[in-house]
């Protein structure tokens, strides 16, 4: 396998791990909101839940493209995963 092929495989794997983490995070935020609502304590809020779910859906679609395409399309799909994850972390966790 060439260096470029191995690099793309590594990028696919890394973006897959990031996608899975984002999906788990979205589920955790949604469950926290639900539990907060049912038990009478403040949760993360509907906007935060929506942002996490949208980012997770975008990441899953981009990861699917990354896994099923070659070349620039695969690279671009992985970058979309990283950007979506970065945006949700920046806007919902670090601000």
Q: Give residue 7's pLDDT.
A: 86
- Spatial distance between the Cα atoms of 41 and 38, rounded to a whole number of angstroms: 8
Instruction: Report the chain's mean pLDDT, rounded to a whole number.
Output: 93
Q: Is 29 left (phi over 0), alpha (psi -120 to 50) or beta?
A: alpha
Q: Is residue 29 over pLDDT 90?
A: yes
Q: Is residue 52 over pLDDT 70?
A: yes
Q: Is residue 19 over pLDDT 90?
A: yes
Q: Is residue 66 over pLDDT 60?
A: yes
- Spatial distance between the Cα atoms of 66 and 63, rounded to a whole number of angstroms: 5
User: What is the mean pLDDT of the segment spanning 68-87?
Assistant: 95
């Amino acid at each position: 396998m060439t260096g470029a092929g191995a690099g793309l495989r590594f990028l696919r794997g890394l973006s897959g791990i990031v996608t899975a983490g984002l999906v788990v995070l979205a589920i955790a935020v949604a469950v926290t909101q639900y539990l907060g609502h049912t038990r009478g304590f403040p949760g993360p809020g509907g906007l935060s839940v929506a942002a996490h779910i949208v980012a997770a859906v975008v990441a899953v679609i981009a990861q699917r493209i990354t896994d099923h395409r070659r070349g620039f399309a695969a690279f671009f799909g992985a970058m979309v995963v990283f950007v979506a994850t970065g945006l949700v972390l920046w806007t919902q966790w670090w601000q």
